[in-house]
């Protein structure tokens, strides 16, 4: 059975109102019911989780969030949201180590603790990694390898199946165009090689590598088809319903999975 493409929408600090959040979720879930090869995850801010109603069946659409606490038990952790709480709210995916978090000072060690908490509760961690610059000598590959290893150091082998890697080169985020698809393919292979070194070839063959960085409906197909990414991490475009649903439909037409 072919592996389904995974499209993750990271809403960031958008939209402005709960009603807007409900509208986005309703429209994306409607389109998701018609997808044949694609799963979609929507990651709204915590305050808009309530916009996701489980009363309506929505195949191929899942609820995610943008971060979570590394603490696995209740306690005096003001401002934190525990993964066990998120699981009770029907959340299935959690982003960890997004480049914006790392830019604010989050370390690989902190990301690893967070990922460990996510997989401990049986949720899927979307672990973001990526280099700031691409030097001619290839030092960025060593940096990326260490970032992946350090961000997963607390993940037991038995839980590695609950990890998705989102490769997001920092220099491509917010740029006018995404990374070249041929380069993306090289990086997908590299990430899977590092993952195989950590958890074994069999697990690495089944895990998903997403690409993030200036993704839109125009370039999404090439990123999947030529870049061989297993899915996409979509930022600003994910709250623009027309563009995001167009992206989903375009990706779902790719027959070769």
Whether 257 is covered by a domain: the verdict is no
Q: Report the CATH number that the domain containing residue 193 is assigned in CATH.
A: 3.20.20.70
Any domain includes 242: yes
In a domain, 188, yes or no: yes
Token pair 């940096």 in the structure block, residue: 143
Give 119 or 171, the one with higher predicted confidence.
Answer: 119
Q: Is residue 156 part of a domain?
A: yes
d(CA 235, CA 142): 26
Cα gap 111→167, rounded to integer Å:
15
Say how far apart CA 31 and CA 29 lie, in whole Å: 5
Residue 124 falls inside a structural domain: yes
pLDDT in tens, 129-152: 999 888 778 899 999 999 999 999
Q: What are phi and psi of 54, to 5 degrees?
A: -85, 0
Catalytic residues, by residue number, are 98, 168
The answer to whether residue 37 sits within a structural domain is: yes
Q: Is residue 87 part of a domain?
A: yes
Q: What is the pLDDT of residues 8-67, one digit of tens each?
A: 999 999 999 999 999 999 999 999 999 999 999 999 999 999 999 766 667 899 999 999
- The torsion angle over the Cα atoms of residues 111, 49, 211 and 158, rounded to 10 degrees, is 50
* Domain boundaries, position 22: 5-252
What's the number of domains the chain is made of? 1
Q: Return the beta strands (E) in the chain as ranges.
A: 5-10, 38-43, 61-65, 93-96, 124-129, 163-167, 209-212, 231-234
- pTM, two decimals, is 0.95
């Amino acid at each position: 059975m072919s592996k389904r493409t995974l499209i993750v929408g990271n809403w960031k600090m958008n939209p402005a109102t709960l009603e807007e959040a409900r509208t986005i979720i309703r429209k994306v879930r409607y389109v998701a019911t018609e997808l044949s090869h694609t799963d979609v995850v929507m990651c709204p801010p915590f305050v808009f989780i309530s916009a996701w109603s489980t009363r309506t069946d929505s195949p191929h659409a899942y609820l995610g969030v943008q971060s979570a606490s590394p603490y696995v038990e209740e306690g005096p952790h003001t401002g934190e949201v525990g993964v066990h709480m998120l699981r009770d709210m029907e959340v299935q995916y959690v982003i960890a180590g997004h480049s914006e978090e790392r830019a604010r000072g989050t370390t690989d060690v902190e990301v690893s603790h967070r990922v460990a908490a996510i997989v401990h509760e049986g949720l899927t961690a979307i672990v973001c990694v990526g280099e700031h610059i691409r030097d001619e000598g290839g030092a960025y590959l060593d940096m990326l390898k260490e970032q992946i290893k350090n961000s997963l150091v607390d993940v037991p082998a038995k839980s590695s199946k609950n990890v998705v890697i989102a490769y997001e080169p920092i220099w491509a985020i917010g740029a006018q165009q995404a990374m070249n698809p041929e380069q993306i393919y090289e990086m997908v292979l590299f990430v899977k090689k590092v993952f195989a070194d950590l958890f074994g070839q069999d697990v690495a063959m089944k895990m998903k590598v997403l690409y993030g960085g200036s993704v839109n409906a125009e370039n999404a197909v090439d990123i999947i088809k030529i870049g061989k990414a297993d899915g996409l991490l979509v930022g600003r475009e994910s709250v623009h319903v027309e563009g995001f649903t167009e992206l989903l439909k375009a990706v779902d037409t790719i027959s070769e999975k």
